[in-house]
Structure 1
Amino acid sequence: MDHHVQQSILLHDDDFHCIFQSVISNTIVVFTILTVILQIETLFHVCCRLCSTIPVHPKLSDVLPSTACELDYPFVAIQLPMMNEIGCCESAIDCACSLDWPKSRLLIQVLDDSTDEQTKTVINKCVHRWADRGMRIKIYRRENRKGFKGGNLANGMLHIGQAAYVAIFDVDFLPTKDYLMKTLPILIQDPTVAYVQARWTFANRKETLLTRMQEIAMNFHHKCEQDGRFRASLFWSFNGTGGVWRTSIIEQIGGWGTDTLVEDFDLSIRAYAKGWRSVYMHDVECLSELPSTVSAYLSQQHRWTSGTIQLARKQAKAIYQSRHISWHKKLYCLWCLFRPCTHLINVLSLVVIMPITIFIPQPYSYNLIHTCCKISTCLCYGMFTIDEFYLILFYIVFSSATSLNNACATISGLFNFNSAKEWTVTPKSGCKNTDICLGTTLIEKLSSTLKRDENVSNALSEKNIKQSYSWRALFNIYLCKNHFRWTYQQIRIKLRSFRLYKRNFCMGAYLLVISYLAFEKRAYDTGIYIFSISIMHFSLAFGCMGRQNQQSKHII
């Protein structure tokens, strides 16, 4: 009797083990299929970009006669939303006022939400300087920040006057002088076009390893995804800056939304649902600045990701019910809205699926598929940033590590947590070009050295010190004192601005343990990959990839 009971228990254990292994295998198959789908999307964008014909855009001479006077030019408003960004507010205003367009047909709106008095003073002086030169430029300030950037732009629209078109530039964006000359002819010629978007370029792309990683991602987005979607007549979103809108359409579709963190995406979706077209101009560039600190980058990504999910909850029904979009374009548009959910898949795959494969070996084909997908991603992203191709493998690890932040943002936007209701202004340093960015460190070191030498010389000349030491010895003593004082101040600044990202630190520690177990099980390929991601999480946790956070009263 006992023998039969024991045999029955063993059979039940075997059944449970078989069921468990079957569930694990099926789960891994599902995650593998999702990985392949994501890679197919990447390849689809590349094919749309490379295989489609290059669109020919009209020139200003094609829409306006050669004998046109200033009154024949359409009236254009330039909106410059800003808040406490003292480092680049002046250059943004100067650049907007220098655009090639008849000054009598141009209105510059400085939409200032700044709370810092010093920033307000700089803006006031710059605006008054251009107003004295005859430029039509005005400052618009609000009593509160209701609606954040969307509310700021909506407030500017109340004072737009007779402007037929409105160009929008964030404070760190510097368009070329012929920007309006190249973008407006399309809007003038085709009344079905709602907005025109220019391609972003990046002034500080070589500044740190963090900005290099962002350059790879942003180049693929702007050079491939945006341009490819436009050429394939699929939905693509206005990027929030560096674009020109038709004023009448903004008013017709309800104006700027203030209930999500992605007012640009929201406006684009509503225009698309109403059947309006949009044009992406790959050959028109707009210089911008990438976040140079880990905190700024993660904050920006959190806002974009959680805001997109907020918008999906808000506009999915409107897209589904739209009569102006074909069914396959509706599916693609809904995919764009819910795509941030793939970050959850990436995190679950890394945290759950890959550790399981260490202890429950799977068919070799699964590893082969994942490897092929990674190689394909490297090639797709690398071809649009050739000069950083050697960093592509590093970028794959970086994107896997940042999926944790984006996954948390997805959950925040899905359940509308408080973190999805806060707009944090991305800190900007005001870099004008790559040369300045690359040479800043050297110049700062040189100037600080000269300043220390000058301080030492002044101290020696002012104090009549007895000649108990030679002048060289005295010089070295004072130099050492100043050097130690300067080093101590730098250490204090770094400690004061230091921030540990606990989420990334815990994930890094967890993956470090998993990589150790992988090496113990002789799963060397999986172990190396997980170990690399673990190190990347630690780098993000300690803020090692970008510049050190600078505490400033100008940054909120």
Structure 2
Amino acid sequence: MTVMILAEKLFVCAVCLAVRALRLGPDRRYRWEPIGGGVGDEEEESGSGHGAKYPMVLVQIPMYNEREVYKLSIGAACELEWPSERFMIQVLDDSTDPVVKDLVETECQRWKSKGVNIKYEVRGNRKGYKAGALKEGLKHDYVEDCEYIAMFDADFQPEPDFLLRAVPFLVHNPEIALVQARWKFVNSGECLLTRFQEMSLDYHFKYEQEAGSSLHSFFGFNGTAGVWRIAAIDDAGGWKDRTTVEDMDLAVRAMLQGWKFVYVGDIKVKSELPSTFKAYRFQQHRWSCGPANLFKKMMVEILENKKVSLWSKIYLWYNFFFVGKVAAHTVTFIYYCCAIPVSVLLPEIQIPLWGVVYIPTLITLLKALGTPSSFHLVILWVLFENVMSLHRIKAAASGLLDAGGRVNEWVVTEKLGDTSKAKPGANGSDDVKVIDVKLTEPLVPKLVKRRARFWERYNCSELFVGTCILLCGFYDLLFAKKGYYIFLFLQGTAFLVVGFGYVGTLPHCNA
């Protein structure tokens, strides 16, 4: 299976290198022309009729208790360059914290008072989570006038010219359903955890998304920083909440209806990476369990589909789902964290040198092409990815088997915004006055803090696996003499470092 993954990586890189060498960017494969004469003064647009040339665009921003980042996304969306009468912003607030809901609504009203066409929408429950909110948002009467939907999660900040650069692909190419932009990370240098995420996601966007777009006109929608044609959403059956990857679900169904997707890497949208290990682990569970669960539910539908070519079905079934969403997680953990350690205990298991060194090294180098500036972190990155494969294989297995209580569990990724870096009293509005007051009784009863148990303070599964790998390393050094002990010591130590919580930043606490 490692050979299978290597072949997939080589193929993806070859496609992307060919696209760059031949300069076959999206604007060469599809028609792109600016709409109207550009967005200028609003009165000039109204007088000259330029505004009428622009299609009606809806900007959706789903939120859930986004105290730290709600202003960023709303502010960026309100500053998009587009005729004011030809687009509206829809903030879909599923917050359960009444304070946060008031803050978000107040922010929407503030922009509305400036003349921005912004709608603040809430619903009575969180049924369907994000998919349910997006589906409910499309039911409002004012959406009927819109042709396209731009979607941004609460921590995403599009540049003002985002719509001007993305929407023309949809306007001039009626076969395109989705324009996906690239993510740009504002906190990638915060810690090693965010650097590792940047390396993984840069490869995903620069190579996997680019290859899928160039060769098959299909890739998995990333759930944000994209513009959809509403007709394509309706044609695919709308949003469904049967998995935790509603974005990928919609993309696959739209592809099976014959729609095309285009990835535009030159359009970048700023976003935030989770900087705490707990938040990252929950995110990876959702990203690993959801696709596997979707694969199980759609594998027969993909094969029976008659609207796309056999080649497209093979790509979707084998390359996109099986290799990318199932085999990759399985091979990484079973091979590097199980087979190699066990082989030092059992002389009967012989792993050839090309399987231990050459193929893994080549796969690593290919994936590192996405972020050349972090090439010096490759070894640490690989060790960390092997640690994360423990969680990914568990998540993928639960998704494939549709077992366990977390298959459809939706945990919103924690965002810290700028609050973790802000200092009290940094500006006039946040100055703090300290007043000495003698109190006879405390204002708030003192709470007795329960001491956290061992399994609550540490990641026990990582500690267990790391200890086993280290023991195998010592056995190899003292008895087996296979020479794997260097890798086993490094990998075992990586598991222990993560197990004791020495990765990422400390969870942010509000005083």
Tell me the TM-score range normalised by the shorter chain.
0.7 to 0.9
Q: Is the 8 A contact 1:90 1:122 kept in 2?
A: no
Q: Which of 476, 479, 490 in structure 2 is aligned with 1:518?
A: 476
1:51 is matched with which residue?
Answer: 18
Q: Is the 8 A contact 2:72 2:156 kept in 1?
A: no
Q: Which of 132, 152, 158 in structure 2 is aligned with 1:175?
A: 158
1:36 is matched with which residue?
Answer: 3
1:427 is matched with which residue?
Answer: 414
Alpha-carbon deviations, 1:87-122, whole Å to 9, x = none? 000111010000000111111000000011221121
- Higher deviation after alignment, 351-360 or 532-541: 351-360
User: Residues of 2 paired with 1:285 and 1:512: CA distance?
Assistant: 42
- Within 5 Å, which residues of 2 pair with 1:78-227? 78-159=59-140, 160-227=143-210
1:331 CA drift (Å): 1.6
Q: Is the 8 A contact 2:58 2:150 kept in 1?
A: yes
- Within 5 Å, which residues of 2 pair with 1:332-347? 332-335=315-318, 336-339=320-323, 340-342=325-327, 343-347=329-333
Report SS of the residue matched to 2:174: coil
Q: Residue type matched to 1:337 in 2? A: F
Task: Count matched residues.
Answer: 477
1:218 CA drift (Å): 0.5
1:549 is matched with which residue?
Answer: 507
2:271 is matched with which residue?
Answer: 288
Q: Is the 8 A contact 1:512 1:530 kept in 2?
A: yes
Q: Residue type matched to 2:93 in 1? A: D
- 1:35–1:446 Cα change, 3 Å: same
2:44 is matched with which residue?
Answer: none
Report SS of the residue matched to 1:175: coil
- 1:518–1:364 Cα change, 3 Å: same
Alpha-carbon deviations, 1:465-511, whole Å to 9, x = none? xxxxxxxxxxxxxxxxxxxxxxxxxxx99979973222212111211
User: Residues of 2 paired with 1:276 and 1:418: CA distance?
Assistant: 34
User: Residues of 2 paired with 1:133 and 1:405: CA distance?
Assistant: 47
Alpha-carbon deviations, 1:108-148, whole Å to 9, x = none? 00000001122112111110111111111111111111101
User: Residues of 2 paired with 1:313 and 1:221: CA distance?
Assistant: 23
Alpha-carbon deviations, 1:343-372, whole Å to 9, x = none? 223322235421342244579881233311
1:307 is matched with which residue?
Answer: 290
- Within 5 Å, which residues of 2 pair with 1:357-376? 357-361=343-347, 366-376=352-362
1:150 CA drift (Å): 0.5
- 1:256–1:552 Cα change, 3 Å: farther
Q: Residue type matched to 1:37 in 2? A: M
User: Residues of 2 paired with 1:535 and 1:123: CA distance?
Assistant: 44
Q: Is the 8 A contact 1:83 1:114 kept in 2?
A: yes
Q: Residue type matched to 1:414 in 2? A: L
2:247 is matched with which residue?
Answer: 264
Q: Residue type matched to 1:426 in 2? A: T
1:446 CA drift (Å): 11
- 1:183–1:362 Cα change, 3 Å: farther
Q: Is the 8 A contact 2:222 2:247 kept in 1?
A: yes
Q: Is the 8 A contact 1:311 1:337 kept in 2?
A: no
Q: Is the 8 A contact 1:76 1:163 kept in 2?
A: yes
- 1:113–1:523 Cα change, 3 Å: farther
User: Residues of 1 paired with 2:221 and 2:234: CA distance?
Assistant: 16
1:68 CA drift (Å): 5.0
- Higher deviation after alignment, 46-55 or 217-226: 46-55
- 1:506–1:406 Cα change, 3 Å: same
Report SS of the residue matched to 2:135: helix
**1:349 aligns to 2:330 (yes or no):** no
Q: Which of 309, 312, 331 in structure 2 is aligned with 1:329?
A: 312
2:42 is matched with which residue?
Answer: none
Relative to its length, the structure with more helix (as a share) is: 1
User: Residues of 1 paired with 2:72 and 2:452: CA distance?
Assistant: 32
**1:502 aligns to 2:456 (yes or no):** no
User: Residues of 1 paired with 2:451 and 2:358: CA distance?
Assistant: 42
Report SS of the residue matched to 2:264: strand
1:392 is matched with which residue?
Answer: 378
User: Residues of 2 paired with 1:223 and 1:330: CA distance?
Assistant: 23
User: Residues of 2 paired with 1:68 and 1:303: CA distance?
Assistant: 47
Superposition TM-score, scaled by structure 2 size: 0.87
Alpha-carbon deviations, 1:271-291, whole Å to 9, x = none? 111111011001000111111
- 1:525–1:96 Cα change, 3 Å: farther
User: Residues of 2 paired with 1:326 and 1:286: CA distance?
Assistant: 33
**1:403 aligns to 2:389 (yes or no):** yes
User: Residues of 2 paired with 1:352 and 1:224: CA distance?
Assistant: 29
1:152 CA drift (Å): 0.7
Alpha-carbon deviations, 1:37-88, whole Å to 9, x = none? 1111111111111112332427875554676521221000000001001000
Q: Which of 491, 494, 507 in structure 2 is aligned with 1:536?
A: 494
1:21 is matched with which residue?
Answer: none
2:399 is matched with which residue?
Answer: 413
Answer with 1 or 2: which has the greater Rg.
Answer: 1
- 1:41–1:399 Cα change, 3 Å: same
* Cα RMSD, aligned residues only: 2.9
